[in-house]
Homo-oligomer: A and B are copies of this chain.
């Protein structure tokens, strides 16, 4: 493991922030993707030539942001999209009773397409760039609850096939990570109310023109690089979208 010397106070940044950036850089290039495990704290201390307190402060922030996960006695890991709070970190739909349930997604279509101007802009692509366009219906309690259409850059996911999606284990984001080393760590959603388009209403088995939520989401990886654009429609007869602001992250 090479030692990376950090000059003190470059840009006036505190040392622990510089360490944090170095760790993010390593994560971004996929340095620890295969093992999902980071070197031990003491090893990272030697690598960056900082004390344990400083190293821990850097990692503390990454744990807070749900990018890393620490387990006493085991080590420090890339936070998995499976299991635990992470499962619902990017999924805010609950039953009207308040109960959380994981949806099962059912692929509707998978096609090679070209990015419309607006979507290309959100994905930092050129208009007309080749993208995969994927339609899903998500079932909750064996009933259709959500319809979503998502777009990803073909170059970022070379050779992706319909079967990859259908046969994947776990969530879409864990699939991106396991198969392509692309880790989604942030999403930005806009929510509006609209009359349900006919094609979607049919798949959701609701009345045409019924009021539904229209959610557009951009999913980002390290350094806020956009990876996926998604537009979802959801009937709120049986479920609602929840947002908990100020919840303590523990």
Contacts and interface: CB of A to CB of B under 8 A. Distances in A.
Given A195-B211, A211-B211, A189 B245 contact: yes
Contacts of A89: 245-246
A246 B193 contact: no
Contacts of A187: 244-246
Interface residues of A, number: 35
A191 B247 CA distance: 17
Given A64-B249, A248-B65, A242 B191 contact: yes
B236 A188 contact: no
Contact of A90 (B240, B245, B248): B245
B185 A241 contact: no
A241 B64 contact: no
Contact of A236 (B65, B186, B189, B194): B194
Contact of A241 (B61, B190, B195, B234): B190
Given A193-B193, A195-B211, A186 B245 contact: yes
Contacts of A190: 94, 240-242
B188 A242 contact: yes
Interface string A204-215: 000000011100
A218 to B, nearest CB: 10
A248 B188 CA distance: 12
29 contacts: A61-B248, A64-B64, A65-B246, A65-B249, A66-B246, A90-B245, A92-B243, A92-B245, A94-B190, A186-B244, A188-B242, A188-B243, A188-B244, A188-B247, A189-B243, A189-B245, A190-B240, A190-B241, A190-B242, A191-B236, A192-B241, A193-B194, A193-B211, A193-B213, A193-B234, A193-B235, A194-B211, A195-B211, A213-B213
Interface of A: 61, 64-66, 89-90, 92, 94, 185-195, 211-213, 234-236, 240-249
